Amino acid sequence: MGYKKIFFVFCSIFFNFFAFCQEKTNPYLAIEKIPTPSGYERVVVDKDAFGTYLRRLPLKKSRIVYLYSGKQKSNQNAQFAVVDISVGNKDLQQCADAIIRLRAEYLFQQKKYKSIHFNFSNGFKVDYDMYAKGNRLQETKGVFSWKKTTKQDYSHDTFLKYLDLVFVYAGSYSLSKELSVVSSVSLIQPGDVFIEGGFPGHAVSVVDVAVSKEGKKIALLAQSYMPAQDIHVLVNSTNSVLSPWFEITTEESDLFTPEWIFKKKNLKRFKQ
């Protein structure tokens, strides 16, 4: 093979490899660094709000989504970027669990410990403050109660153990019942949730919102899925020009995400 052919083959390999790396590499350090489309600006959010916490979530350089087991997810076409937050080593942090995790991490960061509580699917309310004070759940014939068994510990490690407990007994069904209905999708804001409660159901978090001068709103959405996997910002597979942003118009039109179709009337919000 002549030198020109060798050089051409080398260049082809190099540029194909470079393109592959570019495709698998995320250049944005945080959700708030993902640019808005031309003509849109991010909505104003209070500096201590849940929406601000979500905007500041760090993103991994790699765009590959991994499962709790360490294996790569089979579908690598749903994500635009991967949130840099642990998934654990158990098949627990799935769709609704990821939303619970983000909300709880925000409240933990704010030291609003008494505000961290979630319901099991049977309706039992599980307070983080009770858990951190050393109480542990006892179950008798499906009935839960608290019992003091260990010392008080408000560390982040104990907080994660509390969340694992919630993940086992909570899901989209229970979370859907806890959230408040947003009266109109036009009122969407960062921190809201599109959720279809069920067995199975699904839920995605609204991690950012932008608006145009004409009042059109778009949103960035993030999810985990089954089995438990990295939380990731979704691509808009129906609009490559707008992607990763999703157009939010009226309640009548469905919201097509890569792995679920939501009714826009299923937009809900955490109670303050």
Digit-coded pLDDT (tens) for 202-255: 999 999 999 999 999 999 999 999 999 999 999 999 999 999 999 997 777 899
pLDDT of residue 272: 76
pTM of the model: 0.90
d(CA 209, CA 4): 51
Q: With a cut of 70, list the residues of the chain below it in pLDDT.
A: 1-23
Q: 218, 246 in Cβ contact below 8 A?
A: yes
pLDDT of residue 249: 79
d(CA 114, CA 103): 13
pLDDT of residue 2: 52
How do residues 1-14 score in pLDDT, each as one tens digit? 454 334 333 333 33
pLDDT of residue 24: 72
Pair of tokens at residue 45? 């959010």
pLDDT of residue 141: 86
